[in-house]
């Protein structure tokens, strides 16, 4: 049996093994369920594209709140052949997982690993640092990891091809931070002495041609060339102007958790070859951490530290390089030690995954069900988790963070961001008042962390709890969603208009509102017809 045929059989075995794991999880958890609310933002965005307009976030385009245009496009493709949208999203996650495993397999074989060693690294990539549960989150994490794995594979091919430039063109639209890998890889490609000038020109053209469709899509749909999600989170969480010790603490805790989860295999990163690839990956990692430290340090810990998982393929590639170098004995020793730490990291992610499915999401589903049954007049509800309630609910919504309601971002940009969060309550109160919201749906953890209820009361609002979501037994109180009725207060707010295409607000000064019961948001778009109106 030749090596090529053996490699093909190994790849087939990896595909079967990875697919079997996702099938077993699907059976074990009882179907296509997701531990994060953000997964349902993806499903809701797909709904908006199918319907042609947004019935929940009135006048807001589908790509607002969509970080990954590529992920959304793939979901739309799968929904063409799968009737259930939740199953389609689960299948997309499984597909990304299989592609990620194949990328690790071929990258490992590129540096000389035997098919068996490469297969163990590839399948082990599902276990390492609890990666499996990041692939099951219904977001773009798995697609990002697959892109990095294939980026490394194509970068280490004996003869680099246009497939590398094609991938570089779409990576920024898988996740914005992958622009670092994209730019670095194109730089290496253009300096490759084994490739002709004609090839390099073709590579640049290929990359640009892959980029243009997504730029046009975002521009036509939102009026912007880049997603709004990072900006909205940056303004709401307001870390940019935090003091240095606080920023250091955020980053240190996130990095310490990542170090424990990947210990000691992250030490294998120093074995990466060729040298150009190692330098590019190191520079990308340092720049990534630096940018988050500068502008959004707390983001590194969000959703199980999911943003850091793009470096998992880098670490595992370092293991492959170590096994095929003079450092093989050291690498084997590190692999042996990792046996004591991998269960810990896997357990963390498993616990987080299960807690969210049986606690947060079950509670949220129950509240949304109650809203649909008990609020037939369809009042406007203020939310911070903007996904499931839009996907399964029937009421108009306002996202107080700004991911799905860009007009809210203007308040945080003006108040929350420069005050390092001290004026967040005023910003939220002004958002609630400006949109004439009648209810607040909040997770208790967010209520405690950001003083949502107390902050509104301090701003003069009357806040009364009307329902608490039912979760599984032993669910912590912080993981339960609560619905509150809001009574407006008289205050001063900014006037704004809303752009029809982008959904952004333009502040025009302030005015006193003596009769807030009659206040309505001025909109420059017509309200679409909705079923049940």
User: Tokens 């098919």 — which residue?
Assistant: 115
What does the pLDDT profile of the chain (533 residues) look like in tens digits?
A: 445 778 899 999 999 999 999 999 999 999 999 999 999 999 999 999 999 999 999 989 999 999 999 999 999 999 999 999 999 999 999 999 999 999 999 999 999 999 999 999 999 999 999 999 999 999 999 999 999 999 999 999 999 999 999 999 999 999 999 999 999 999 999 999 999 999 999 999 999 999 999 999 999 998 888 888 888 999 999 999 999 999 999 999 999 999 999 999 999 999 999 999 999 999 999 999 999 999 999 999 988 899 999 999 999 999 999 999 999 999 999 999 999 898 988 999 999 999 899 888 999 999 999 999 999 999 999 999 999 999 999 999 999 999 999 999 999 999 999 999 999 999 999 999 999 999 999 999 999 999 999 999 999 999 999 999 999 888 899 999 999 999 986 544 444 444 534 444 444 444 434 333 433 333 332 333 333 33
Name, in order, each residue with C-beta under 8 angstroms of 356's C-beta and a sequence gap of 6 or more.
35, 36, 479
Pair of tokens at residue 398 = 């306002």
d(CA 306, CA 382): 26
pLDDT number for residue 6: 80
Instruction: Report the pLDDT value the prediction gives residue 490, as an integer from 0 to 100.
Output: 56
Give the distance from CA 250 to its chain's centroid. 19
Residues 6+ away with beta carbon under 8 Å from 245: none
Q: What is the DSSP letter of 271?
A: G
| CA pair distance 176, 170, nearest whole angstrom | 10
Triad 96, 99, 102: Cα angle to 5°:
150
The answer to whether residues 362 and 474 touch, using CB atoms and an 8 Å cutoff, is no
> What integer pLDDT is reported at residue 230 of this predicted model?
83
283 touches 275 (CB < 8 A): no
Show the DSSP H helices in 223-308 as ranges. 229-237, 244-262, 275-295, 302-305
Beta bridge partners of 505: 498
Per the CB < 8 A criterion, the answer to whether 519 and 428 are in contact is no
Indicate the pTM of the whole model.
0.89
Containing 457, the helix (H) or strand (E) segment is helix 452-458
CA end-to-end span of the chain? 68
Exposed (0-12), middle (13-18) or buried (19+): which is 190, by Cβ within 10 Å? middle
pLDDT of 525: 29
How many angstroms separate the CA atoms of 325 and 323, rounded? 6
CA 134, CA 150: separation in Å to the nearest integer?
A: 18
Tell me the C-alpha to C-alpha distance, in Å, between residue 101 and each of 5, 13, 79, 94, 316. Answer: 18, 11, 23, 11, 11
CA distance 400 to 71: 25
- Do 432 and 461 contact (CB within 8 A), yes or no? yes
Strand bridging mode 462-468 / 397-399: unpaired
Side-chain half-sphere exposure of 185, counting CA atoms within 13 A: 32
Residues belonging to the chain:
533
By DSSP bridging, strand 381-383 and strand 439-443 are parallel
């Amino acid at each position: 049996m030749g090596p090529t045929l053996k490699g093909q059989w190994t790849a087939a075995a990896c595909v079967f093994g990875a697919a079997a794991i996702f099938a077993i999880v699907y059976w074990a958890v009882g179907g296509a369920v997701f531990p994060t609310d953000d997964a349902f933002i993806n499903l809701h965005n797909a709904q908006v594209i199918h319907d042609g307009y947004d019935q929940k976030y009135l006048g807001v385009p589908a790509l607002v709140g969509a970080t990954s245009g590529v992920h959304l496009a793939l979901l739309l493709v799968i929904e063409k052949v799968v009737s259930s949208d939740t199953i389609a999203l689960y299948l997309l996650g499984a597909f990304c997982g299989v592609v990620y495993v194949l990328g690790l397999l071929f990258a490992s074989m590129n540096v000389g690993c035997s098919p068996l060693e490469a297969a163990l690294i590839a399948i082990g990539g599902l276990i390492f640092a609890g990666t499996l549960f990041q692939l099951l989150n219904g977001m773009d994490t798995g697609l990002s990891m697959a892109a990095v794995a294939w980026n490394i594979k194509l970068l280490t091919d004996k003869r680099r091809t246009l497939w590398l430039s094609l991938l570089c063109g779409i990576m920024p639209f898988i996740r914005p931070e992958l622009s670092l890998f994209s730019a670095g890889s194109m730089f290496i490609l253009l300096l490759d002495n084994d490739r002709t000038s004609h090839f390099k020109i073709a590579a640049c053209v290929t990359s640009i041609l892959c980029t243009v469709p997504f730029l046009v899509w975002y521009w036509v749909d939102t009026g912007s060339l880049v997603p709004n999600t990072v900006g909205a989170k940056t303004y709401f969480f307001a870390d940019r102007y935090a003091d240095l010790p606080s920023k250091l603490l955020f980053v240190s805790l996130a990095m310490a958790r990542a170090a424990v989860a990947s210990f000691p295999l992250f030490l294998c990163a120093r074995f990466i070859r060729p040298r150009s690839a190692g330098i590019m990956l190191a520079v990308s990692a340092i720049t990534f951490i630096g940018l988050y430290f500068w502008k959004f340090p707390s983001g590194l810990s969000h959703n199980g530290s999911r943003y850091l998982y793009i470096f998992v393929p880098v670490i595992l590639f370092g293991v492959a390089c170590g096994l095929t170098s003079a450092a093989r004995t050291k690498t084997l020793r590190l692999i042996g030690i990792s046996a004591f730490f991998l269960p810990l990291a896997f357990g963390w992610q498993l616990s987080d995954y299960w807690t969210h499915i049986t606690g947060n999401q079950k509670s949220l589903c129950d509240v949304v069900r109650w809203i649909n049954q008990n609020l037939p007049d369809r009042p406007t509800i203020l939310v911070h988790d903007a996904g499931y309630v839009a996907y399964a609910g029937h009421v108009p919504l306002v996202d107080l963070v700004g991911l799905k309601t860009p007009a809210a971002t203007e308040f945080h940009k003006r108040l929350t961001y420069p005050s390092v969060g001290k004026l967040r309550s005023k910003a939220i109160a002004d958002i609630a008042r400006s949109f004439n919201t009648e209810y607040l749906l909040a997770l208790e953890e967010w209520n405690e962390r950001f003083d949502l209820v107390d902050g509104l009361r301090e701003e003069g609002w009357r806040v009364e709890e009307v329902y608490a979501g039912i979760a599984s037994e032993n669910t912590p109180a912080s993981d339960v969603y609560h619905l509150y009725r809001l009574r407006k207060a008289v205050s001063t707010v900014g006037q704004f208009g809303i752009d029809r295409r982008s959904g952004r607000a333009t502040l025009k000064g302030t005015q006193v509102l003596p009769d807030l019961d009659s206040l309505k948001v001025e909109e420059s778009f017509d309200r679409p017809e909705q079923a049940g109106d």
